[in-house]
Structure 1
Amino acid sequence: MSETACLVVVSGLPGSGKTTHAKRLQVERPGVRFCPDEWMTALGANLWNGELRARVEGLQWAMALDVLRAGGTAIVEWGTWSRDERECLRAEAAALGARTELLFLDVPADVLWARIEERGMEDPPMKHADVVAMHEFIQSQRPDEAERSAFDKVL
C-alpha cells in the first residue's frame, strides 16, 4: 500500500456543503469523489429511495476500497451521520493501511433549511420539521474526542 492512500469521510446533513467541500478537496489532492446523490440523479432515481441508495453506496465503497488499494485518495460524501457509520468506514480503510481523515460539517438547522429551499433539488421536497429532526439527531452524533483521535486527521 502506498503511503499516499487516504480516505476522507465528509459528514453532514443535506445543505451542509458536503459536495462543495468534497469538490474542493478533490482539486487540492487529486482523488476520486463518491457522491450517491449525483449517481442517483444520473439514473433518474428518487434521492430518498433508501434501498437504491444503499446499493449505490455499496458500489461506491467497493470502488473506494480499490482506489485506496491503488494508493489513491477516496473522498466519501455520503452524509455519514452516525458515529458507527463513520467508524466502519475508518476501520476498513485503516485495515488496508490507508490514512483516514474526517470533515464534519456542523451547520445550524436554519442555515440548512435556507440552503435546501434555495437549491430546490430534493424530490419530494423536504419539510422544515424534517431538517430540524435530522439536525437534532446529528447533534447527538457529533464526533467526540475518542472518534476524533481514531482518525489520522480531522479537517
Structure 2
Amino acid sequence: MDSRGNSGQGPLLILFCGLPGSGKTTIARQRARETGAIRFSTDEWMADLGVDFFDHIRDGLQARLDQLSKDLLERGQSVILEDGTWKREERERLRRLASELGAATEIHYFDIAIDELWRRLEIRNASPTFGTVPITRELLEECRLRLERPDDAELSLFHRTVVHR
C-alpha cells in the first residue's frame, strides 16, 4: 500500500458507522497506520480546543473538518472519518463525494449489542482518556434511537465493507 492507502489506485475514504463504545477509535487508528490515511475525530478536535463536547460550535467544526477531508481527497490523500455517521443521508453524501473525486470507499459498521456497549462505556467512563466523551446510559439510548443502521443494500455500495460484531 502507498500513502494513499489504496495500492496506488487513488485515494481511499474510510467511514465509520457505530455508536459510542463500539470500537471506532481503536479500528480507525489501526487503519490509519495500515493505510497512511489522515484520521479525523471531531471529539478529539473539540478536546484539543478545550471546548465542551456538546458545545454549539460542534456543527461548525464538523463542517470545516468535512471540507478539509474533501480537500485532502482531491489531492489524492486517503482520509478516515471516525465520527459515527449515524444518518444514511450523510453516509450516502460522503460516498458520492468520494466517487466524484475518484476515491475508493470503505465502511466499517459496528453492530454491537447495546448491553455490551454500555459495559464498555462504564469502563471507559471510569478512566477516560483524552478526547473521549463521557456517555451516560440515557445518552447511549438516545444515540441508539438516532442511528440509522445500514442495510445490506447500502453496504453493497461501498468498495469494501467490514462489519464488526
TM-score (norm 1): 0.88
- CA drift of 1:136 comes to 4.0
1:131-151 deviation per Cα after TM superposition (whole angstroms, max 9, x unaligned): 13322443xx22112211211
Residue 131 of structure 1 aligns to a residue whose secondary structure is helix
Question: How far, CA to CA, are the matches of 2:9 and 2:70 in structure 1?
Answer: 15
How many residues are paired up? Answer: 150
Residue pair 2:40, 2:82 contacting (<8 A) in 1 also: yes
1:128 maps to 137
Q: What letter is aligned with 2:141?
A: V
1:35 maps to 41
1:45 maps to 51
Aligned ranges 1:70-109 → 2 under 5 Å: 70-109=75-114
Question: How far, CA to CA, are the matches of 1:104 and 1:135 in structure 2?
Answer: 14
Give the RMSD, CA atoms, in angstroms: 1.7
Unaligned runs of 5+ in 1: none
- CA drift of 1:117 comes to 2.0
Relative to its length, the structure with more helix (as a share) is: 1
1:148 maps to 155
TM-score (norm 2): 0.83
1:5 maps to 11
Question: How far, CA to CA, are the matches of 1:150 and 1:87 in structure 2?
Answer: 9
1:28-63 deviation per Cα after TM superposition (whole angstroms, max 9, x unaligned): 1111000000000011111122x3221121111111
Question: Identity of paired residues, percent?
Answer: 37
Unaligned runs of 5+ in 2: 1-7
Residue 59 of structure 2 aligns to a residue whose secondary structure is helix
Residue 16 of structure 1 aligns to a residue whose secondary structure is coil
Question: How far, CA to CA, are the matches of 2:59 and 2:97 in structure 1?
Answer: 17
Residue pair 1:22, 1:77 contacting (<8 A) in 2 also: yes
